[in-house]
Amino acid sequence: MTTTPSVDSGDRSHALAPIESVAQISSALRDTDPTLDPRLAAKARQAAADGVVLLRNDGVLPFGERTVAVFGRVQLDWFAVGYGSGGDVKVPYVWNLLAGLRDAGVRVDDALADRYASWTAANRPEISTEWGRWPHHFAEMPVEATVAEAAAERAEVAVVVLGRAAGEARDSLLEPGSYFLAAEETELLDRVTAAFERTVVVIDAGNVMDLGWLDRYGDRIAGLLYAWQGGMEGARAVAGVLAGEIAPSGRLTDTIATRYDDYPSAENFGDAEVTVYAEDIFVGYRYFETFAPERVLFPFGFGLGYAEFEERVVDASVTADRVEVIVEVANVGTRHPGRQTVQLYVAKPGRALAQPARELAGFAKTSLLAPGDRERVTITVELAELASYDDAGSTGHRNCWVLEAGEYDFLMGTDVRRATSAASVTLDDLRVVRRVQEAAAVDPRTPFRKMTAARDGEGRVRVAWEDAPTSTVDRRARVLSDPLRLVPPTGDRGIRLDAVAAGTATLDDFIAQLTIDELADLARGDVIMDSPLGTPGNAGVLGGVSASLRAKGVLPVTTADGPSGIRLSAYASLLPSGTALASTWDPELVRELAELHGREMVRKGAHVLLGPGMNLHRNPLCGRNFEYFSEDPLITGRLATAVVAGLQSQGVAACPKHFAANNQEESRTLNDSRVSERALRELYLRGFEICVREARPLAMMTSYNKVNGVWSHYHRDLVTTILREEWGFEGCVMTDWWMESAVDPDFPALEDNAYRVRAQVDVLMPGGVKDEGGRQSYVDRTIQDSVAREGGLSLEELQRGARNVLRLVLALAPVITARA
């Protein structure tokens, strides 16, 4: 979504305000009311802290009684979130790291801190107001060798804080100051590590950045902390971890490779027109653990703590349908409490279908264990969840989810690399788990070769290549076979939507009254962002967008940007980024946070939160990775399920996005994601499927990009065949804000909004059509014109879309009317 970024005024006094000073929740919210729920702030701090990943520690952490010299301007100019609509929240305060350290009781070198405070006040970063042109980093204060040496006389340990940001329409770049260290950052590290025997590096970022420079400094970098952007409480949470008042327990949800070129997607990222997903299912750790384990600096799932743990499998039971592993975790240390994450991976047979060496199958996290404490966690895996998709017929069962015959080895550990065998099950025969229809496959006109696995003469696995299977579906025939149901029009009978909610009329009774214009109005938002029909500052309004619909009781529904907070004119909480939440590996904690967030939505007047973001971290440069969870679809699905369940428990709606394969920001509205049906289903749709089946979100947002040649907002295969028919989604599907113009290639009488409605993308948001100057200025009549045209959109299709929208309005009505 396109928005205007907020600009830092240079006033950072709010960053020093502790949460204890926040007043009680206001009962009469105003746009100028800065009060927040202290329970939400406390839970946000906990989530941000539990998402911090400790990557290196020689005993320097926690700081204890040591005096610490803090270098790097990001200690004050903290990146609380990434750029764009996903984090541009009107937040009343944001902690910085220096304030957080002092609040946690850490003795900081005041002389150095004062030097940074003066310099940063006089050298404010230049933040462009041009969309997508924000800085990836801020220029560093020059630090002479004498300054570092003087600080080393006053302090025992140095902290160097590095910061990075990217965001919507702003991918990271393979340049110094973005993916790589800037020259002044290298100089800073050189001078600090030369002056101090022990240096701790804190990385405040939303994306993975290059860490190959660690070798340059050896053991002089004694500690390394990856602090994913944690929102308003993030810096305070990091300070709590450094101080030792919070036990670090975060684990990586991405692989950190030795070099960028080692990532399998490196050759196919950033093109303005086409992205070929040539690596296929071998994304992230699936690639590295299979083909290049030596090219990994920090493996998927890795993270350190202050406590010392031992893990032991105490029971592993296997049936024909499931595997259950019980693991006892003991804190065998003597000084620190901590939490441990137990991860279960599976190695599949890989006979007809190539398979990665291991794949995440389940995980569990302990409670906080004091020294000497023990706890048992149970991980249960349904074998059906491990099925692979055969898009080529290699197993003899094309377009089926299958479990091949052979041994399934389950490995338990605390990261993907250190997992060892815990249980196994052998299937004597291939098992067909699910038969589905081919959908969203590769266009035969744009074939490509995709990665697979083969074995050399000595049995070693190597990269091989094969043709991606292409589509065989007659789309026109599929559309014409849709089971549509006509509700015969009756004209206005005085039935209001309230009667449907009360059970005195059916939804079909209500829909039968609607005119073509009213049905078309339900298929769009109220033209503009910040609609006067909704809460001030809204992203857009849908539902009761016309006077005639409102007269019939259709309430306007306010949507608000997310996922890291509620973007309205009112003050709201800025919450940890998606990556920070996922790095907790704690769905229950995230569900609790989302429940409190849902309560804030109710108080602020937001009915639909545009989140969570669910696209995969296919490549570390994708600008919106901070909004998303992981390179892995299982942890993506589990964490998104927690967010949706928490939000919707409060009567509001979540709207997961971006459906589907939005994995780069460069030319995002034009780029064609060309991906095999197997990779699409097993990776890029799998998290969405888990979320839909387990949490039943009330809404879904399509992406801007094309998927195998078709823009997602026209993609019937994605939205109808897979989302609705296979997964049982009954909610409202909306576009990302605006859409590209196109004519249905199989039905020339359908274009733009009519083409979209046939795909069951129910609502164009924010609802207006842009003029030649790019202004959102008017509502077109493509729907009405198409209905009136031979071979055009049918009344049944228009009613079907209206039904989807009205179900959302009915679900939200109690919250909307209660606040009114």
Helix ranges restricted to H, 728-772: 752-758
Distance CA 32, CA 225 (A): 36
**Is 766:528 a contact under the CB 8 Å cutoff?**
yes
CA distance 564 to 165: 15
Residues 327 and 366: their CA atoms lie apart, in Å, by 10
Any bridge partners for residue 674, and if so which?
Answer: 276
For 84, residues 6+ apart whose C-beta sits below 8 A from its C-beta are 1, 3, 5, 167, 168, 169, 170, 623, 624
Edge-to-edge, what's the strand order for the sheet holding 653-654?
540-543, 556-561, 608-610, 653-654
Q: If residue 410 lies in a helix (H) or strand (E), which one and from where to where?
A: strand 406-413
d(CA 244, CA 208): 25
Residue 282: half-sphere exposure toward Cβ, Cα within 13 Å: 27
Report the SS3 class of residue 195: helix
103, 409, 632, 736: the catalytic one is: 736
CB 658 within 8 A of CB 627: no
Give the closest residue to 163 by CA, choosing from 144, 143, 177: 177
**Cα separation, 202 vs 689, whole angstroms:** 35
Residue type, 202: V
Structure tokens at 260: 């960028």
Cα of first residue to Cα of last residue in the chain, in angstroms, is: 28
Alpha-carbon distance 442 to 437, whole Å? Answer: 14
Whether a cis peptide bond, with omega within 30° of 0, leads into 620 is no
Check if 736 is active-site. Answer: yes
Contact indicator for 705, 713 with CB cutoff of 8 Å: no
Question: What is the length of the chain?
Answer: 820
- Say how far apart CA 269 and CA 733 lie, in whole Å: 28
SS3 (DSSP) at 458? coil
Q: Any idea which residues carry the catalytic annotation?
A: 736
